[in-house]
């Protein structure tokens, strides 16, 4: 009997539950099921979460030519994704009735399993949304599915003239969601609040962003040294250069 290769603990668990069910309902093969359950699983290494720093994300959004035919639509879509951390499917299902553009500015998003959550909107996002809604609010979806990955790639290339870093990475629409989460963490927002903001079922999913951000790791380490009164008293003999830190951030 073949054993499925484990990708993550969550993928392996349903198989284990199934074998445990067989063990309880078919005692004649208990030995075989027991040997299956005794097999040690091997976890695959989890990829580091990719994201854009705030100045990089802003450069990509600002690269949209808002005077072009689709400029307002594209600018609003990218700004909305970064502001809310919404999945692309959530953004493409957005309707005017889901928005509140007066204070408190907010949007109601429908995530996986039709679970709803409310996210605040920046004033500039509300202004941008008003422009694409027009005068009469109707139930038509606000964003066209014109290939969000293609649009984002186009503006990443355009932004590379000012901020070259994003072009060196594969920037997908989901990276704007990751970028929103990391920016919230950098701003000191509690991880449980970010979990609700992004619509994660478990805080364990949200905790990936903590391990992804090298700048935050440095800040935590500095805070630890100060709190533990272990900070060196003498002048530092060596300090990493900005170019070295940029290289480490790119790893």
Q: Write out the catalytic residue numbers.
A: 87, 112, 174, 177, 200, 209
Per the CB < 8 A criterion, the answer to whether 191 and 203 are in contact is yes
* Chain-centre distance for alpha carbon 172: 11
**71-84 and 148-159 are packed helices; what angle lies between their axes, rounded to 10 degrees?**
90
CA distance linking residue 121 with residue 132, whole number of Å: 15
Angle of CA points 117, 120, 123, to nearest 5°: 150
Residues ≥6 apart with Cβ < 8 Å to 116 = 108, 109, 110
**30-38 and 9-25 are packed helices; what angle lies between their axes, rounded to 10 degrees?**
160
Which tokens go with 178?
Answer: 């990751």
Which residues does residue 107 pair with via DSSP β-bridges, in sequence order? Answer: 99, 119
Residue 191 CB burial class (10 angstroms; 0-12, 13-18, ≥19): middle
Per the CB < 8 A criterion, the answer to whether 128 and 170 are in contact is no
């Amino acid at each position: 009997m073949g054993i499925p290769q484990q990708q993550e603990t969550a993928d392996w668990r349903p198989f284990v539950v199934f074998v445990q069910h067989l063990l309880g309902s078919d005692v004649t093969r208990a030995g075989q099921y027991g040997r299956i359950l005794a097999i040690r699983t091997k976890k695959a290494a989890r990829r580091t979460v990719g994201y854009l720093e705030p100045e990089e994300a802003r450069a990509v959004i600002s690269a949209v030519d808002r005077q072009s035919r689709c400029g307002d639509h594209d600018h609003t879509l990218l700004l909305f994704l970064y502001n809310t951390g919404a999945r692309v499917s959530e953004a493409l299902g957005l309707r005017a009735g889901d928005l509140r553009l007066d204070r408190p500015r907010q949007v109601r998003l429908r995530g996986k399993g039709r679970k709803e959550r409310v996210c605040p909107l920046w004033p500039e996002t509300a202004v941008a949304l008003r422009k694409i809604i027009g005068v009469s609010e109707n139930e038509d979806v606000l964003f066209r599915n014109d290939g969000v990955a293609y649009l984002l790639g186009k503006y990443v290339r355009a932004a590379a003239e000012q901020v070259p870093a994003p072009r060196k990475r594969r920037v997908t629409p989901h990276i704007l969601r990751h970028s929103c989460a990391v920016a919230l963490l950098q701003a000191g927002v509690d991880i449980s609040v970010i979990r609700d903001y992004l619509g994660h079922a478990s805080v364990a999913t949200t905790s990936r962003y903590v391990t992804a951000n090298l700048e935050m790791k440095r800040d935590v380490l500095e805070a630890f040294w100060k709190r533990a009164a272990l900070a060196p008293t003498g002048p530092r003999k060596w300090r990493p250069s900005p170019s070295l830190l940029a290289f480490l951030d790119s790893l």
